[in-house]
Chain A
Amino acid sequence: MDEKYQYLTFMGLRFNTANCISTLLTALLVFLFVFFTSRKLAMRPGKGQNLLEYLIDFTNGIVKAIMPGDEGKPFYFYIFVLFTFILFSNTLGLFLEVKFNGITFTKSPTADPMVTMPLAMVTLLMSHYYSVEKWGFKGYMSNFIRPVGFLLPINLIEEFTNFLTLSLRLYGNIFAGEVLIGLLLNVASSFGILTAVVAAPMTMIWQGFSVFIGAIQAYVFAILSCVYFSRKLERE
Chain B
Amino acid sequence: MANGLVIAANASLGDSIFLIVTFILLMWLVKHFAWGPVTKMMDKRAQKISDDLDGAAESRSKAEQMAAQRQSELKNSKSEAIQIVNTAKENGEKSRQEIVTAAQTEAAQLKSKAKVEAEQVKTDALNGAREDVGQIAVNIAEALIKKDLNADDQKELIDAYIKGLTNADETR
Interface residues of A (CB under 8 A from B): 7-8, 10, 13-16, 19-20, 23-24, 27, 30-31, 34-35, 37-38, 41-43, 45, 49, 52-53, 56, 76-78, 80-81, 84-85, 109, 112-115, 117-119, 121-122, 160-161, 164, 167-168
> How many angstroms from the CA of A166 to the CA of B19 in the assembled complex?
16
Q: Are B33 and A35 in contact (CB under 8 A)?
A: yes
* Docked CA distance A177–B45 (Å): 41
Are A117 and B4 also in contact (CB < 8 A) when A43-B44, A43-B48, A112-B11 are? yes
B-to-A contact residues, CB < 8 Å: 1, 3-4, 7-8, 11-20, 22-23, 25-27, 29-31, 33-35, 37-39, 41-42, 44-45, 48
For residue A118, which residues in chain B have a CB less than 8 angstroms away from its CB?
A: 16-17, 19-20, 23
User: Smallest distance from the beta carbon of B77 to chain A beta carbons, Å?
Assistant: 47
Chain B, Cβ-Cβ closest to A118: B16
Q: Is the CB of A113 within 8 A of B35?
A: no
Which residues of B are found within 8 Å of A161, using beta-carbon distances?
A: 1
Residues from chain A with a CB closer than 8 A to the CB of B26 are 27, 30-31, 81, 85
Q: Which residues of B contact A121 (CB under 8 A)?
A: 16, 20
Q: Is the CB of A43 within 8 A of B41?
A: yes
- Please give, as numbers and ranges, the residues of chain B lying within 8 Å of A85 by CB-CB distance: 23, 26
For B18, the chain A residues whose CB sits under 8 A away are 15, 19-20, 23
User: B82 CB to closest chain A CB, in angstroms?
Assistant: 55
Main secondary structure of the interface of A (DSSP, over half): helix
A49 close to B38 (CB less than 8 A): yes
12 CB-based A-B contacts, threshold 8 Å: A13-B12, A14-B11, A14-B13, A24-B22, A31-B26, A35-B33, A41-B37, A41-B38, A78-B27, A81-B30, A113-B4, A118-B20
Q: A56 and B23: CB pair below 8 A?
A: no
Q: Which residues of A contact B16 (CB under 8 A)?
A: 114-115, 117-118, 121
- From B1, B14, B22, A10 is in contact (CB under 8 Å) with B14
Question: What is the minimal beta-carbon distance from B8 to any residue of chain A, in angstroms?
Answer: 7
B4 and A16: CB pair below 8 A? no
A49 to B18, CA, bound (A): 30
From the candidates B3, B12, B17, B33, name the one contacting A34 in the complex (CB within 8 A). B33
Measured CB to CB, the nearest residue on chain A to B27 is A81
A19 to chain B: closest residue by CB: B15
| Neighbouring A residues of B45 by C-beta, 8 Å | 43
In the assembled complex, the Cα of A56 lies from the Cα of B25 at a distance in Å of: 19
Whether the pair B38, A38 counts as a contact (CB closer than 8 A) is yes
User: Given known contacts A77-B35, A117-B16, what 15 new A-B pairs fall within 8 Å (CB)?
Assistant: A16-B15, A20-B18, A27-B23, A31-B30, A34-B33, A34-B34, A38-B34, A41-B37, A41-B38, A49-B38, A52-B34, A85-B23, A114-B7, A117-B8, A122-B23
Q: How many Å lie between the Cα of A24 and that of B23 in the bound state?
A: 9
Bound: A43/B43 CA distance, A: 10
Q: Does A112 lie within 8 Å of B15, measured CB to CB? A: yes
**Is the beta-carbon distance between B11 and A113 smaller than 8 angstroms?**
yes
* Shortest beta-carbon distance from B44 to chain A in Å: 7
Cross-chain contact A114 with B13 (CB below 8 angstroms): yes
Q: Are A41 and B41 in contact (CB under 8 A)?
A: yes
